[in-house]
């Protein structure tokens, strides 16, 4: 067991609303990073949907497309390293914002765990509180024997 992780970073400029295209770019970059033998690969915040998504978050088809894209991307982790994907995730709450700004850890061909962003910016040009429900819990998980 190591006390450190080799992190592969996907630096992308996702196109707002192009879930399919953004997922395809993530898949290509993930595959390209495999030669570097990372322990985990990470994507930017809201990398599947693009930022800022604004009213796209109110379209159930967009959220369904993200769920399908996560399922497809998770299949890569069956034989590859875990993949941390920035996405919007539906809440289980009946009132308030319908989604969380989330990071989903894909591992072993499925969804391992999900973190909901807790501190939503509400200053300057940021109005995340209008669209997202703030998370309430910190998250610690283990990747390749290392707590993160």
| CATH number of the domain bearing residue 107 | 3.60.110.10
The total number of structural domains in the chain stands at 1
| Residue 55 in domain | yes
Question: What pTM was computed for the model?
Answer: 0.91
CA distance 100 to 90: 6
CA distance 23 to 67: 11
Check: CB of residue 118 under 8 Å from CB of residue 134. yes
Bridge partner list, 40: 7
Lowest mean pLDDT among 60-64, 123-127, 132-136: 123-127
Mean pLDDT, range 109-119, rounded to an integer: 94
94 falls in which pLDDT band (50, 70, 90)? low
| Residue 110 in domain | yes
Check: CB of residue 77 under 8 Å from CB of residue 60. no
| Residue 1 in domain | no
Residues 6+ apart with CB under 8 A from 51: 14, 16, 44, 45
């Amino acid at each position: 067991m190591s006390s450190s992780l080799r992190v592969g970073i996907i630096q992308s400029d996702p196109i707002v609303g192009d879930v399919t295209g953004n997922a395809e770019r993530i898949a290509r970059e993930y595959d390209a990073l495999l030669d570097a033998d990372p322990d985990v690969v990470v994507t930017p915040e809201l990398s599947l949907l693009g930022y800022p998504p604004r009213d796209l978050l109110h379209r159930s088809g967009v959220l369904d497309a993200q769920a399908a894209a996560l399922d497809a991307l998770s299949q890569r982790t069956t034989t590859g390293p875990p993949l941390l994907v920035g996405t919007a995730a539906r809440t289980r709450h009946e009132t308030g914002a319908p989604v969380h700004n989330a990071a989903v850890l894909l591992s072993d061909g499925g969804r391992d765990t999900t973190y909901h962003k807790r501190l939503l910016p509400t200053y300057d040009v940021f109005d995340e509180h209008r669209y997202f429900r703030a998370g309430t819990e910190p998250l610690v998980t283990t990747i390749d024997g290392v707590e993160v």
